Amino acid sequence: MAGELPLSGEPLPLELVNTTYVRGGVRGRRMDALAAGPRAVGGWLAARRDRFPDALAKRLHGVESVPPVRYQEFLELRGALRSLAAARTSGAAPGADPLAVVNTLARSAARWPELAPGPDFRSVVRTAADDVGREALGEIAAAAVDLFSGPAAERLRACPAPGCILYFVRTHARREWCTVGCGNRVRVARHSRRARDGGAAREA
């Protein structure tokens, strides 16, 4: 699944949003990298475990699946994040329902140190989540709060290439597209349009 995704290296909330994409440009087909179900989410998490806090990353090692209820929550969070990304990049007000989804799940990211029982004063990390999938959801939702409210939000972009539905954070001033592929496709389309317009003008 991970190898199919056209874009990687974005903040985790956008990585989740971008698990839906269009393959083939304007006349392409909408794809869903998580459509295979709970195992697809498990694979997605395991492939990105190093992007999570250390304690959670260790627990994500070898994760193959998530419970069906967590799978549905991942899909719900993805939809909410896509809605918020669309609002943030267009200047629209965020919807109440997507905000509620993100804020509710972000509470699962709470973690704190405690002293473990025993004579050695060992510190352990406790979390508000009841399982690894819910904890991961919380971390992604909390990261989304930081993304949409922080300085990176000013560089958040919806790819302007026709047919593309991906989002990215603009990392340098010359970056216009989510991927080189989108940029190339737009340039080829422009070249073809100029050639076609030029030919029509000569015939006239």
Tell me the pLDDT tens digit for each residue of 138-186.
Answer: 999 999 999 999 999 999 999 999 889 999 999 998 899 999 889 887 7
Q: What is the DSSP code string of 146-164?
A: HHHHSGGGGGEEE--STT-
Tell me the pLDDT tens digit for each residue of 15-54.
Answer: 999 999 998 777 789 999 999 999 999 999 999 999 999 9
Residue closest to 18 by CA, chosen among 29, 8, 28:
8
Residue closest to 67 by CA, chosen among 42, 88, 48:
42
From residue 203, give the alpha-carbon distance in Å to each of 48, 104, 109, 189, 193.
56, 62, 65, 21, 15
Q: Which helix (H) or strand (E) holds 114?
A: strand 111-115
- Do 163 and 27 meet the contact criterion of CB atoms below 8 Å apart? yes
Instruction: Kindly report whether the global pTM for this prediction surpasses the value 0.95.
Output: no
Q: How far apart are CA 17 and CA 5, in angstroms?
A: 11
Q: Helix or strand or coil: residue 109? A: helix
Which domains are assigned to the chain? 2-203 (1.10.3300.10)
